[in-house]
Structure 1
């Protein structure tokens, strides 16, 4: 793989970014992930464990033991890319003893974690994957990957887009908050030029392509309720007749390219049947500057959250298992 560039980050260490190119070739960031999956596919496609090495270096640099968060039932029988699998790859590069801690046993504010062996330790670093974790750890100086501050910065897509609005090397889809199909229909009628290529409706907080509507210009919105996002539809030039987008990785501030997701249908998410492919060098190079700029902007947004005198009262750090 080519040698890529890096930027300094404090909070958004494990970054997965979804990009597409619009009709005039401008990179468009579709989503930033709070705890990106698809490292399984990355490893299969490239046979390169650099993402784990870089994160292990961050964990090892902290003053104190490293803890990895699992659920009590992990690993599940049908698991592939889960906390246990990631832990196995991180352990290859960590320079210290690792302690496994169950998420369910550590849901109260504290500066210590209860290990699965029943001991209490004060961690120097925590890899929490996509599991919920109290604010007290990052607030007491523990290196958490990724911390709640980063989750708050990226998890609400509309707020995330707002943080990225000033980007110079890419753009985000023009979007509106909606809660009902009637609200969406009114906005579609008011902005026909914006939605001349169609529209997308998706949950403001969601993952895996679940609940996403991708529609042509004159299609009526399907039933939905609650906090959703209505966005202009970005349609790339097809590759071999397929729709495609890219999951990019920036680990510990270093750009690593990513995985191309291809599908005959408009939804390319691998959870919804998209096919993961190696990303060609030209596309990887074209997306390096946008990915690094996005991570810097989102890291700054996370720093603003981290700098608040008290943690925000938000559901964005909650997880439904």
Structure 2
């Protein structure tokens, strides 16, 4: 049984930056340091940071007054920022710079009097943070069937932003339908779907065409990891999302000659190494790393002033 590794895979620049911010905050301010929501959506990353002294909470009211508080890579609404000030919290913003770029467009569209369509998954932290950037009409869309029921103030003044971790294929279909409904819709100069999401989906598309089974390493609540599994399945290749090697079912390997492996943007590489080791213990041999897009993007970690 041959193993093929997708390239690129795993951590993106925004995830690296967010994790580095938590590590530096712990070193500078000493534990406990509080984090509103999971800093990134990966159970192993969260547990490692928790062991170092990070405390993850779902509500600001759970945090003691004056404590150092980090906003996750997914971003938060303006209301959350204001509430943190009211509670006297010392905040550090770990929002991915590419998510912040979406926030700025959201604010600009509202300032121009546009209804804004936020294309993304309802309830996802990134979507909630984006919706909370400006006052005014906001509509969250997840699929094309929701478009006919949209009611906007002025069809000539409609713009959109997207969640950064969406399926490129699914979003293309939704945007096609939106352009029919709103011919004058304001679009970003470049897609809001981030480079890492696009690159990893492209790599899995190629991977799925070359193997009999795809394993995506990532947590169940990771949007970008779920999209990778869906990309493989759209190529008619069986695919499973696993948090770690222990979740592999040996029955999946029956009759399989080639296994493809990738990892979501919030999944650490050591988990991929463990999956490869598990498969080699169960009959796999050679490991081949596929060619792919080289990524050279790095985001500076800010000087932490909480």
TM-score (norm 1): 0.34
Specify which structure has the higher proportion of strand. Answer: 1
Length-normalised TM-score, structure 2 = 0.35
More helix by share: 2
